[in-house]
Amino acid sequence: MGNYTITVLAGDGIGPEVTDQAVRVLDAVAKRFGHTFTYHKRLVGVAAIEAEGDSISEATLELCQKSDAILFGAVGGLPNYDGRFKVKPEEALFKLRKGLQFFANLRPVKPLDSLLNASPLKAEIVKGTDLLVVRELTGGLYYGHLEPPVPGKPSAIRRTEHGTDAIDTLLYTEAEIERILRIAFDAARDRKKKVTSVDKANVLSSSVLWRQVADRVAADYPDIAFEHILVDACAMHLIRRPSNFDVIVTENLFGDILTDEASVLAGSMGMLPSASLGSHKTVHGRLGLYEPIHGSAPDITGQGKANPIAAILSAAMLLQYSLGLKDEASAVEAAVAQTIEAGYRTEDLASTGARTVNTEEMGQKIATTL
Amino acid sequence: MGNYTITVLAGDGIGPEVTDQAVRVLDAVAKRFGHTFTYHKRLVGVAAIEAEGDSISEATLELCQKSDAILFGAVGGLPNYDGRFKVKPEEALFKLRKGLQFFANLRPVKPLDSLLNASPLKAEIVKGTDLLVVRELTGGLYYGHLEPPVPGKPSAIRRTEHGTDAIDTLLYTEAEIERILRIAFDAARDRKKKVTSVDKANVLSSSVLWRQVADRVAADYPDIAFEHILVDACAMHLIRRPSNFDVIVTENLFGDILTDEASVLAGSMGMLPSASLGSHKTVHGRLGLYEPIHGSAPDITGQGKANPIAAILSAAMLLQYSLGLKDEASAVEAAVAQTIEAGYRTEDLASTGARTVNTEEMGQKIATTL
Ligand SMILES: CC(C)[C@H](C(=O)O)[C@@H](O)C(=O)O
Ligand SMILES: CC(C)[C@H](C(=O)O)[C@@H](O)C(=O)O
C-alpha cells in the first residue's frame, strides 16, 4: 500500500493510445492492491517540439529524475516532420537514456503459447523460447563523438577537400562494457543460467575489447554457462534456434537490430515491452524508463488498431523493477496471458484470435481481468 | 570456347572441400562448352600465415589482379588460432576486398521450392522470395580509421587517462555511397524493379548522408520503385515478408548482418553464394571474387558434411559476371536445382531430402547432371 509517482510521456503517433491503456491497467493494479499512483503527464517528441521548442524540456527531464519511474509511449517516425523541425523527436529518447544514464535496456521475448501461430516461424521452432536481450543503451554509435568532440554533435556530415563525407564513432570504455555484462550475468542467475555475448570481434576493436571484458566478468560467474557469438551468426541463430538462448547481451546498435528481429518470435511487435535501467536508486527500487519496443506507427494512429499489450507489459516491468512490486507485476502478466488465451486480439494478431477488439477494449479486458 | 585464368583460394576449414567441388563443376562446364579454365591455386588464411607469414602474400594478391576471376573458399574461425598468429586469417579477405576495390558484394537469396520446408519459417512466408542484397564492401566500420590515420590500424584499443577504451570509425564518402546505389538500381532494372535502401538515419550521420545520396540517385531511375527502411525494421520485415523485397542495398556491416539473417530463408547457409565486384575490367568482364557466404565451419571440417552448393553457385556467378558466360552460369544453376529436386541433400538439409550424400558426392551429382 504505497504511494508512487510516475512520469507519463505518451509521445507521438500511437504512443498516447497505448499509454492510456497501460495507465488504465496501472489504475486497476492500484485498486486491487491498495496503492496510490500519482501520474505526471508531460509532452515529449513532436508535441513537445511544437509546444515547448524541444523534444523534451529541461523541466520534464528534471521531473523524470525525481519520479519513481517513467512510462514512455513512442516518439518520432511521423511523416513530414523532417522539414518542419530542427530538432528530431527521437532526441527526447537519447536525452532521457543518456541524461538519466539508463545504460541497461532489458527486452524480454517470451511468446505466449496461444500466439505461436502468429509468428512467421514454424510453431515448433518458436515453442519454448524465453529469452532476454540486455542491450547497452548509452554508448556506441548512438553517441559517437568527433575528436575534438563537438557538443551536441555526436557525429557529423562534413565537407572535406575530397568532397562530402559523414562520420560516426563507435566508442566503448572498459567500464561501460563491464557494467552491462554484470547486468546480464546477474539476470541469468534468476533465469536459465546462460549468457550469450554478441559482438563482431573479427572486425571491430570495440568488439575485441568487449570480448576481453566479457571473459573477465564471466570468470566471476562460474555457475553461468557463457558463450560468444558473432552478430551475423546471432542474427541467423535467433531465427533457427531461438529456444536455445537465455540472456543475450550486446552493444547498442546490435541490440537495436536483434530485438526488432526477435519480435517476429512473439508474433507482433505489439507484444514486446522494455525496461531501461541505470544505477540511480529511488526509495522503492531503481529509476527506470519503460516503453514498448515498437515505434509511433503513424500509419495506424487514431484508428484503434494499436496493440496496447507492449505498453501494458512495460507497465508490469515498471512495477517490478522501479517500484519493487513483484506480485503486482505478475498479476498484470497473468491478466495479459488470460485475455489472450480467452481469444481477444487486436488487429496485428487478428488471424490467431476468436474476437478482434480495438486498443481501448483490449486495455479494458485486461484491466477487468485484473 | 575461350581461355580463362582463375585464381583459386580455398582457405581454411571446409573451404578446400567445397572449393574442390566448385572446381569440379567448372571442369564439367569447360568440357560441355569447350572452354579452357587454367587454375592457379594459392594459399590464404591460416595456411598462408603458416607457410608465407601473412594471411595472403603480395605475390598472391598480384596474381589475383591479373586473373579473370578469383574463386574463394573461407578463412578464419579456426579454434585456437588467436594465440598462435599475430595476423588474423580474416585479414586476407579485407586485403582482397579493399586492395582490389571490390566495393559491391552481391548476395542473391532465392530459395528453391523443394527446400521451402528446410527453413525455420513457414513455407508460405518464404515462397516467392527472390531477393538480392547489394552490400557495400570497402567502407564503413570495417575500415574505420583513426584521426590521424595509423597505417594498418583501422581502429584501436587505447589506454587513456580514464582507463582503456576502444574505438571504431564509420566513415562513408558521398562517392562511395553513390556508386553502390547505382549498382543496386542497375541490378533492379534486370529484376523486379524495386530498390529498398537500408540505413539508420534516425541515429547515424553516415545514414543521413546515405539517404540523401540514395534519393538523388533514385531520381535518375524513375522506372524503379524505391523505398527507405531502417535497419532494425528491415531485420524484422526480412522475416515477416521476404517476398516483398527485390534489391536491398546497404552499408557494409548492416549487409553482413542482414545477409546472414536472410540465409534462414534458403534453409541453409550452405546454399548461398556471393560475388564481390569492383570497377576493374578484364578482357571478358569485371574482375570479381566469388565466395560462399558461409565461413570455415571448423566443427564439421574434414567430415564430408559441408554443403558445396554455395561454392558451386558462387562459381556460377563467376561465370556470369567475370567471364561473361551467361548460358554456362544458367546451366550450373539448373544442374543444382535438378540435383536438389532429385532428392539429394548434404547433411545440413537432410531432413528435406530423399538421400543424404557427402560433399564430394554432391559435387559429382551436380557435375554429372551438367
Ligand atoms: C527510435 C529509435 C531511435 C530507437 C533506437 O534505435 O534505439 C528505437 O529503434 C528503439 O529500439 O528504441
Ligand atoms: C569473415 C568475416 C570477416 C566476413 C565479414 O564480416 O564480412 C563474413 O562474415 C562475410 O560476411 O563475408
**B169 close contact with A: CB closer than 8 A:** yes
Cβ-contact A34, A1 below 8 angstroms: yes
Relative to the CA of B252, which ligand 2 atom is closest?
Answer: 7
B200 annotated active-site: yes
Topology of A120-140+171-266 in CATH? Answer: Rossmann fold (3.40.50)
Residue A145: per-residue pLDDT: 54
A321 annotated active-site: no
Q: Where are the beta strands (DSSP E) in chain B?
A: 3-11, 36-41, 69-74, 104-109, 131-136, 156-160, 163-173, 194-199, 225-230, 247-250, 273-281, 286-292, 344-345, 355-356
Selecting from B200, B240, B264 the residue whose C-beta is nearest the C-beta of A240 gives: B264
Distance between CA atoms of B10 and B14, rounded to whole angstroms?
9
Average per-residue pLDDT in chain A?
A: 93
CATH of domain A1-112+268-370: 3.40.718.10
pLDDT higher than threshold 50 for residue A210: yes
Identify whether B292 is preceded by a cis peptide bond (ω within 30 of 0): no
Count other C-beta atoms under 10 Å from residue A20's C-beta.
Answer: 18
B273 Cβ closer than 6 Å to some ligand 2 atom:
no
A76 Cβ closer than 6 Å to some ligand 1 atom:
yes
B12 annotated active-site: no
**B78 close contact with A: CB closer than 8 A:** no
Ranges in chain B, pLDDT < 50? 146-154
Q: How far is B94 from chain A (nearest CA, A)?
A: 10
* Reported confidence tier of residue A151, pLDDT bands at 50, 70, 90: very low
CATH of domain B1-111+267-370: 3.40.718.10
C-alpha cell at B254: 548492416
String of DSSP letters for B253-264: HHHHHHHHHHGG
Contacts of A155 in chain B (CB under 8 A): 204-206
pLDDT higher than threshold 60 for residue A155: no
A203 Cβ closer than 6 Å to some ligand 2 atom:
yes
Q: How far is B251 from chain A (nearest CA, A)?
A: 13
The DSSP H or E segment spanning A240 is: helix A231-240
* Reported confidence tier of residue A154, pLDDT bands at 50, 70, 90: very low
Q: A-contacting residues of B 106-135, CB under 8 Å?
A: 120-122, 125
Q: Give me the residue spans of the domains in chain B.
A: 1-111+267-370
Residue B151: per-residue pLDDT: 41
The pairing of beta strand B131-136 with beta strand B156-160: unpaired
Report pLDDT digits (tens) over B25-65. Answer: 999 999 999 999 999 999 999 989 989 999 999 999 999 99
The mean pLDDT value for A44-71 works out to 95
Tell me whether residues B164 and A170 touch, CB distance under 8 A. Answer: no
Residue B160: per-residue pLDDT: 73
Contacts of A174 in chain B (CB under 8 A): 163-165
Report pLDDT digits (tens) over B17-27. Answer: 999 999 999 99
Catalytically annotated residue among B165, B215, B232, B327: B232
* Reported confidence tier of residue A113, pLDDT bands at 50, 70, 90: very high
Residue B180: per-residue pLDDT: 98
Mutate to test the interface with B, among A87, A170, A203, A254 (most CBs of B within 10 A): A203
pLDDT higher than threshold 50 for residue A304: yes
A81 annotated active-site: no
Catalytically annotated residue among B4, B200, B290, B348: B200
Report pLDDT digits (tens) over A248-267. Answer: 999 999 999 999 999 999 99
Percent of chain A at pLDDT exceeding 90? 84
Burial class of residue B162 (count of CB atoms within 10 Å of its CB; 0-12, 13-18, 19+): exposed
B246 annotated active-site: no
Tell me whether residues A167 and B167 touch, CB distance under 8 A. Answer: no
